[in-house]
Amino acid sequence: MELHLATAASAPIVLLASLVYEGVDRKLRARMQGRVGPPLLQPFYDLVKLFSKDRIIPFTAAYPLFNYAPLLSASCALAGGALVFVVLVTGLQLAGDLLLVFYLLSSSSLLAMVGGASSGNPYAAISLSRGLSVLLSYKLPMLLSVLTAAIKAGGTLSLASVIALQAEAGGGIATLSLGGALALLAFMLCMPAEGEVPPFDVTTAKTEVVHGFLIEYGGPHLALVKIAKGVSRFSTALLAASLFLYTPARPPLAAMLCLLEAMCIAVLTITVPGTVLGRVKPSQVVRFCLVAPTSIAILSLAISLLEAGGLA
Amino acid sequence: MVTRERELMRVPFGPIHPALKEPVKLTLLVDGEEVVDVSIELGYVHRGIEALAETRNIVQVLHLVERVCGICSHAHPLCFIQAIESIGGIEPPERALYIRSLVAELERMQSHLMWLGVMSYQAGLLTLFMYALRVREGILDVLEEFTGNRVIKEVNTIGGVRRDLDDRIIARMRSAVKELRRALKLLIEAVHDKTLESRLEGVGVLEHGEAVELCAVGPVARASGVDFDVRRDDPYAAYSQLRGKFSVIVRRGGDALSRTEVRILEVLESTELVEAILDELPQGEVRLGKPLLRLSREIPAGEDVSRVEAPRGELLYYVRTDGREFLNRLRIRTPTLANFPALMAMLRGSELADVPIILSSIDPCIACAERVTLVDAREGARRTVRLSELRRGGG
């Protein structure tokens, strides 16, 4: 019961942090492109505007799916992000919460895409088929690098024990061992795909598939999908920060530090590639994810298993 | 084949699409990500300029053709006025011819830079779009300073040009061109960025034979190894005097990367040309002493075909005058129209993700419409509304 309350209380914090990141992202991107850029609070204004608009549901849409998928998607993303935050603040031991967070964040992406594709728009259908292959190809190395962190923490799938290990060792996993550093690298290589930014923004590419699954969404629906996307990309960065770069400190301070680190990770892996790189083709995304991050993740897993064996 | 038919999906690309700046409708028959077949439907922006030209006198038409295209707003009147001058046997002063070439080259630079921006936007590289358009501003600024306008330049007149260069504007142009050349180095580096290159290489290939057979023109043809440029092979304005001052850029790849290279290097060639023109600018008048209206009345009945190398390729005008300062017929063949058959050949067999890139690689400028299609989403029925129905307020 307490966990439910704590998660519910953390959700707004995660939402706020992800919106602030989006503002920073847009501002930084504009400055890199030689533009002035929108005010830092623009994402907030956008949400207010979108929520005040009417809903439009196409005749061809499968109504329940099209209507409720954005809400479910945003809830999944918020729950996933809030869970990470709660564990960071309270250090609560939950068996298997790493998998739960991973599952929630994946469901969020999946629901948004399926909801959009149920609109009956051919662009959304193409976007879904692209999105599924991209999702499968980058979630695999991401999961492998999460498992590396779990192995470091003695084989438990609980975030709290990974954090406890880092607190004890006095530094993040990525700074302590080669295996951890490689796992973080693999995780970060997958981040542009998670954030749907160039070079991996094939599912929502405007010039190719007209915003893909977002095409028929507008108003509150679009606001929810945007929240889902923003929160899940920030939460993924937060997960990376707490799994690999935890800085030992008193719990509330440590959580704040993790939020700050997540912001830096997101800038490095979402804002920068999104600005300096062009979009590649769907087949190239899949090939890249299945080669570079996956092999690095497998290597890190193997090294970690050896290190763990050596310790035992 | 019946089962295969079922897997194919019909994807509309336009008339309204974020990858298009102007309405044209491509219907793509798609198998997964592969484009099996494509059909094109033109006519969404038909403005009836040719018909309108037949109801106006020569001076009015000169201002009308200036508005055929916002990017090549110098190439069109230049092509038109050459035909008129040839019918009337009028020879403009040397200095005027140099100024015509000068503005044509400045126009080519801004057009190619704009194209580079649009192209990188299609490839998802918004940053290069911003940079390219910022560099283009430098050229637009000098054009504005010289002609008074960024877009509609209105430089040409029968028997010469309407404005003369002074020392101040010549100095401004020199510094703008120098600055452009510096900025161009950065843009060329950006184009050879790995992700962008991988999107352009081997995409939308047009073989040399196809380019010849389908009558491709301009940078599209030159990127497929067709060594032809109106400026060199059928010189107009001051290009016969400037022959040794520029080279025609030809590439053999025939893909989007080759077309990009051709255009970027053409900007470099244009910077050379502008400097050469400013160096060699002859002294003297820039137009004939007679009033414009009297000149236009003196044009006899006759016909002529004129062509110029617009930024997008060979632009062709057929003009027939009636000897009473009006036109019997005006026919405009824009380079984009000439390149559509080549575009179809490029699109067949390509990937869906490459369609916007291929489309913009021919630098399309679409202007021609007479009807609207309504699609009822519930019944899937299509109905065409004719212009006459729209006029009646039906539809």
Give the start-end residues of each E strand in chain A.
none
Q: What is the mean pLDDT of residues A99-104?
A: 92
Which residue do the tokens 């707004």 mark?
A12
Q: Among the ranges A48-52, A90-94, A191-195, B362-366, which has the highest mean pLDDT value?
A: A48-52
Identify the band that residue B180 occupies on the pLDDT scale cut at 50, 70 and 90.
Answer: very high
Q: Pick the residue with more confidence: A226 or A207?
A: A226
Residues of A in contact with B351 (CB under 8 A): 281, 283
CATH 1.10.645.10 matches B49-339: yes
Contacts of B280 (CB under 8 A, 6+ apart): B98, B241, B242
Domain ranges of chain B: 2-45+345-392, 49-339
| Partner B, chain A 44-73, Cβ-Cβ below 8 Å | 58-60
pLDDT at position B2 is: 36
Q: What is the mean pLDDT of residues B388-394?
A: 51
Contacts of A290 (CB under 8 A, 6+ apart): A137, A140
Q: Starting at the earlier edge strand, list the strands of the sheet with B25-31.
A: B9-13, B25-31, B34-41
CA-CA-CA-CA dihedral for A238, A241, A247, A252, to nearest 10:
10
CB A257 within 8 A of CB A103: no
Provide the H-helix boundaries in B89-227. Answer: 94-122, 126-147, 167-191, 194-200, 208-213, 218-223
CB A193 within 8 A of CB A132: no
Query: Of A125, A278, A283, which has the smallest distance from its Cβ to B120's Cβ?
Result: A278
Closest listed residue to residue A173, CA positions, set A139, A148, A190: A148
CB A140 within 8 A of CB A296: no
Which residue do the tokens 């990376």 mark?
A240
Domain that holds residue A43: 2-311
Residue B370: other Cβ atoms inside 10 A: 14
Q: What is the mean pLDDT of residues B125-148?
A: 91
Verify whether the Cβ–Cβ distance A34 to B134 is below 8 Å.
Answer: yes
For residue B370 the two structure tokens come to 């007479």
In angstroms, rounded to a whole number, what is the distance separating the alpha carbons of residues B263 and B366?
19
Query: Of A33, A280, A282, which has the smallest distance from its Cβ to B126's Cβ?
Result: A33
b/e map of B229-256 (b: 16 or more CB within 10 Å)?
Answer: bbbbeebbbbbebbeebbeebbbebbbb
Which DSSP letter does residue B157 get?
E
- What does the pLDDT look like over A32-69, one tens digit per residue? 988 999 999 999 999 999 999 999 899 888 889 999 99
> Closest-CA residue in chain A for B120?
A278
Confidence check: pLDDT of A312 > 60: no
Contacts of B285 (CB under 8 A, 6+ apart): B93, B95, B96, B160
Sign (positive or negative) of CA dihedral B355, B358, B360, B364? negative
Q: Pick the residue with more confidence: B372 or B81?
A: B81
Confidence check: pLDDT of B381 > 80: no
Q: How far is CA B278 from the centre of its chain?
A: 24
Residue type, B177: V
Q: What is the mean pLDDT of residues A109-132?
A: 90
Verify whether the Cβ–Cβ distance A207 to B124 is below 8 Å.
Answer: yes
- What does the pLDDT look like over A209-224, one tens digit per residue? 788 889 899 899 999 9
For residue B162 the two structure tokens come to 């309407």
Residues of B in contact with A279 (CB under 8 A): 123-125, 195, 199
Identify the band that residue A166 occupies on the pLDDT scale cut at 50, 70 and 90.
Answer: confident
Q: How many helices (H) and strands (E) does chain A have?
A: 13, 0
Confidence check: pLDDT of B126 > 60: yes
Q: What is the mean pLDDT of residues B185-205?
A: 85
In angstroms, rounded to a whole number, what is the distance separating the alpha carbons of residues A137 and A134?
5
Confidence check: pLDDT of B372 > 70: no
In angstroms, rounded to a whole number, what is the distance separating the alpha carbons of residues A124 and A106?
19
Contacts of A106 (CB under 8 A, 6+ apart): A135, A139
CA-CA-CA-CA dihedral for A265, A270, A271, A273, to nearest 10:
110
Domain count, chain A: 1
Q: What is the mean pLDDT of residues A83-93?
A: 86
Chain B interface includes A295 (CB < 8 A)? no
Closest listed residue to residue B79, CA positions, set B325, B248, B311, B340: B311
Q: What is the mean pLDDT of residues A158-186?
A: 86
In angstroms, rounded to a whole number, what is the distance separating the alpha carbons of residues B390 and B395?
6
Q: What ipTM was predicted for this assembly?
A: 0.81
CB A231 within 8 A of CB A74: yes
% of chain A exceeding 70 in pLDDT? 98
Query: What's the distance, Cα to Cα, between the start and end of chain B in Å?
Result: 39
For residue B371 the two structure tokens come to 């009807």
pLDDT at position A310 is: 54
In angstroms, rounded to a whole number, what is the distance separating the alpha carbons of residues A302 and A296?
10
Verify whether the Cβ–Cβ distance B127 to A282 is below 8 Å.
Answer: no
Residues of B in contact with A205 (CB under 8 A): 124, 353
Closest listed residue to residue A61, CA positions, set A110, A108, A125, A126: A125
**Backbone dihedral region of A251: left (phi > 0), alpha (psi from -120 to 50 degrees) or beta?**
alpha
Query: Of A205, A278, A283, which has the smallest distance from its Cβ to B196's Cβ?
Result: A278
Q: What is the mean pLDDT of residues B288-312?
A: 90
Chain A interface includes B94 (CB < 8 A)? no
Q: What is the mean pLDDT of residues B48-77?
A: 88
- Would you say how long chain B is, in residues? 395
CB A235 within 8 A of CB A105: yes
Which DSSP letter does residue A267 get?
I
CB B385 within 8 A of CB B371: yes
Chain A interface includes B9 (CB < 8 A)? yes
Which DSSP letter does residue B247 get?
-
Which pTM does this prediction carry?
0.83
Chain B interface includes A287 (CB < 8 A)? no
Q: What is the mean pLDDT of residues A134-161?
A: 88
CB A182 within 8 A of CB A304: no
Confidence check: pLDDT of A89 > 90: no
Q: What is the mean pLDDT of residues A109-121?
A: 91
- For chain A, helix, strand, coil in percent to 5 are 80, 0, 20
The H-or-E segment that residue A300 falls in is: helix A282-311
How many CB pairs below 8 A link A and B? 81
Q: What is the mean pLDDT of residues B357-368?
A: 75
Residue B25, strand partner residues: B41
In angstroms, rounded to a whole number, what is the distance separating the alpha carbons of residues B119 and B358?
9
Residue A212: other Cβ atoms inside 10 A: 26
β-pairing verdict for B156-157 and B160-161: antiparallel
